[in-house]
Amino acid sequence: MPDHVRMGDDAEILRVIEDDAVTLAVWQRPSPLPSPDLGDFPAIRFASDMRRVAHGIADALAALPRQDWHHRLAADVQHLAQLYGALTGEDRVEVRIERVTGNGCWKFHADYVALRLITTYCGRATQWLPHGASDDTEPHALSTGDVGLFKGRERAGDRAIIHRSPPIAGSGEDRLLLVIDAPWPEDDA
């Protein structure tokens, strides 16, 4: 494993992102969700106070037929938002949950954020490259359920972790992706 990436089976591993040399910390865990039918899953995006994240998800899913896994999703996102807040000092977060059926962000890139939390609840998970690799290098990948804390350009400059969504167009595959960020300034209004 490259020295700028740390992985472990406990959420505490995410704290190593504070090390200047680390640009990706990964909590290796199984997905807390079954393989749900995502056919009518809406795109969800909102900024929220930490205490209200689960309510925001419940509100976004209220128009759908109730599924047992909706509650598990809301509880897990609430937990991950609180972890993110504890690591970043943020009181508010921006939450994005989406069903991905195409290639999404298929080009390797680094995000223009300080830290971004990403997990894939079902389907293939985010791919990443070690520092100094070229775009044609065989990428590493998180596993479904893993929680990755990605250091972006605001915090790591040119050493930010390079990653992408796995290319799945035409495969018939669905992914359920969660992204947690610090809210944009206009989201705080």
pLDDT in tens, the chain (189 residues): 889 999 999 999 999 999 999 999 999 999 999 888 888 899 999 999 999 999 999 999 998 888 889 999 999 999 999 999 999 999 999 999 998 876 666 688 999 999 999 999 999 999 999 998 876 889 999 999 999 999 999 999 999 999 998 876 666 678 899 999 998 765 444
- Domain positions in the chain are 5-188
What SS3 class is residue 170? coil
User: pTM here?
Assistant: 0.93
Intra-chain end-to-end CA distance of the chain, in Å: 42
Question: Which pair of tokens denotes residue 74?
Answer: 């809301």
Is there a contact between 116 and 150 (Cβ–Cβ < 8 Å)? yes
**Residues 5-188, CATH architecture:** Sandwich (2.60)
User: Strand order of the sheet with strand 92-100?
Assistant: 5-8, 24-27, 147-151, 115-122, 175-181, 92-100, 44-49
Name which of 102, 108, 123 is nearest 169 in CA terms.
Answer: 102
